[in-house]
Amino acid sequence: FKEMATHTSPTDVSRTLVKDILKKQDNVVTTDSTAPLSEAFSKILQQHISSVPVFSTGENRYSSFIDVLDITIFVVSLLEKHSGDYEKVKELFSAATCGDIKELQSSNRNWSGNFLDNVHDTDTIKRAMNIMVNMVNIHRLPTFTLTGELFGVLSQSDIIEVIAANIKLFPIANKTVKDLGLGIKEVVSVGRNEPLKNAFQKIKDHTISGIAVVNGNGTFAGSISASDIKVIGENASGLSKLEEPVGGFTQSKKTVTVTPECSIQQVFEKFSKERAHRGFVVDQSSSVVGVITLIDLLELILNYI
């Protein structure tokens, strides 16, 4: 990332250009719509990333993304269809193409491939924010030069980092989570002793990227996200791990938590530091009472720029 410029107002922050926060990425990891899904998943695993842009040979352009949520939904859908037959699911996973995922996206999520050629390196982050909040489950946007060359991938976390560095300029910096009514979404959770497959089933059913993990008494114990689907390994050879308890996959993970009394400045700083996709709101008894997503924060900031 580039060194951030000095800003003087929220409006000034909103005028930051994409190219001002992203360096041109010469080796963007991509895939092709005709490529095996297992190949795209291998790239995600090996590069420690969460998604790859997909080039459509038929449309001759980057037409979509494949991300860990797509792969989670695909795997769970296969398990549902084939009654948990891991060998059959492994066989079908190995035979699937990236194009199969695009068909699944069309049937499971509000999706518009046209957005992928809309963001340029000379666009403002405000424009990118508006696109992100108006699309469903769009966490990253491929960005292009005006000549159509792929410039890089802009994530919600990249934008949050810019906002966090300048949050003191915003009039809501000292307002609390409670003051602004953040974190009032229903919290989807799974018990720490339940099998991992139950967590992924809930992620698929609710089409969300992560859920809370709770102890038997309802207190917060961590989180599971779609990124954890990586546990099945290349070619889905580790599907049997889905039978293991959820709690075993949360011990080494950093999860952002906030209280209703946390200031917005504190929230942005936590999200930026951990590059988190969500933060769980916990009360004094450590019970989960809400969840805040990156989209919630982007929507909030758009009201002040």
Whether 2 shows a pLDDT value over 70: the answer reads no
Closest CA to 209 of 302, 104, 117, 291: 291
This prediction has a pTM of 0.89
pLDDT band at residue 106 using 50, 70 and 90 as cut-offs = low
The 8-class DSSP code of residue 147 comes to: T
Closest CA to 197 of 131, 244, 161, 149: 244
Closest CA to 253 of 280, 232, 235, 234: 280
Alpha-carbon 278 to chain mean position? 9
For 196-243, write each residue's pLDDT tens digit.
999 999 999 998 999 999 999 999 999 999 999 999 998 899 999 999
Give the pLDDT mean for 39-60. 89
Token duo for residue 217: 């008494």
pLDDT at 149: 86
Closest CA to 173 of 268, 261, 274, 257: 268
pLDDT band at residue 7 using 50, 70 and 90 as cut-offs = confident
For 254-277, write each residue's pLDDT tens digit.
899 999 999 999 999 999 999 999
More confident residue, 55 or 196: 196
pLDDT band at residue 59 using 50, 70 and 90 as cut-offs = confident
Which range, of 108-122, 161-175, 190-204, averages the lowest pLDDT? 108-122
pLDDT at 167: 97
The SS3 of residue 214 is strand
pLDDT at 108: 55
| pLDDT over 70 percentage in the chain | 92
Residue 189: Cβ within 10 Å count: 21
Closest CA to 286 of 222, 199, 235: 222
What average pLDDT is seen over the chain? Answer: 89
pLDDT at 139: 82
Helix axes 86-95, 68-81, angle to 10 degrees: 130
Q: Name the one residue in this structure whose structure tokens are 């951990």.
A: 274
Which range, of 31-40, 113-122, 174-183, averages the lowest pLDDT? 113-122
Whether 110 shows a pLDDT value over 60: the answer reads no
